[in-house]
Amino acid sequence: MLGFLVLAGMVFLLEPMAVPRVLHLPFSSVRPIGVIFLLFVAAYFIWNLWKKGPIRIRSWEFDLPSPGLLIAQVTLASLEWAVGGSALYALLPVPPELSFPGFLGIYLLALWAGMASQVPGGLGVFETLVVLLLSPIMPATNSLGPLLVYRGIYYILPLCLAAALLGLQEIHRTRRRA
């Protein structure tokens, strides 16, 4: 999540897009969301530097990563979110007036709404918001097909591969026992 917050915060600050009125949010731009995201991450970094030792919650202990490891984790996580956005960007017939950072803002806002909705995988929420946010520059018919292909590539294909590998592992384990 920290990688998402860093990437979304930077994109929302550097390429703030207007929030459609149909979303009924109390602000007209995503810039305040970007500020909140980056403030949260900065507070966590400061807390990580200040707090020495594990975090204790009742009988559980959680070790905080070292500052170097934390930076590496956030960098790799931000890169993973950017790669996901670039996969969808490559699939869409995006008009030239929409830059990649501009599209990344749409992608990240739709992901955030999908996560906030508590719908598994943001299914339907993500797609609806992407279509809604792209509608001023692209007809919905041009974005629905690529969104389905994106879901297949980025969610269904890894699920099928993981299920196949788990099945092979179980077959191998069963043969070893026999």
pLDDT digits (tens, 9 = 90+) for 104-150: 999 999 999 999 998 988 889 999 999 999 988 999 999 999 999 99
Tokens of 66: 């070292």
**Model-level pTM?**
0.84
Handedness of CA 85, 87, 91, 97 (dihedral sign): positive
Across all residues in the chain, what is the average pLDDT? 92
Domain positions in the chain are 2-177
Asked if residues 86 and 100 have their Cβ atoms less than 8 Å apart, the reply is yes
Q: Which residues fall within 8 angstroms of residue 23, CB to CB, at 6 or more apart? A: none
Tokens of 154: 């980025």
pLDDT tens-digit readout, 145-170: 999 999 999 889 999 999 999 999 99
CA distance 105 to 117: 18
Tokens of 4: 């998402």
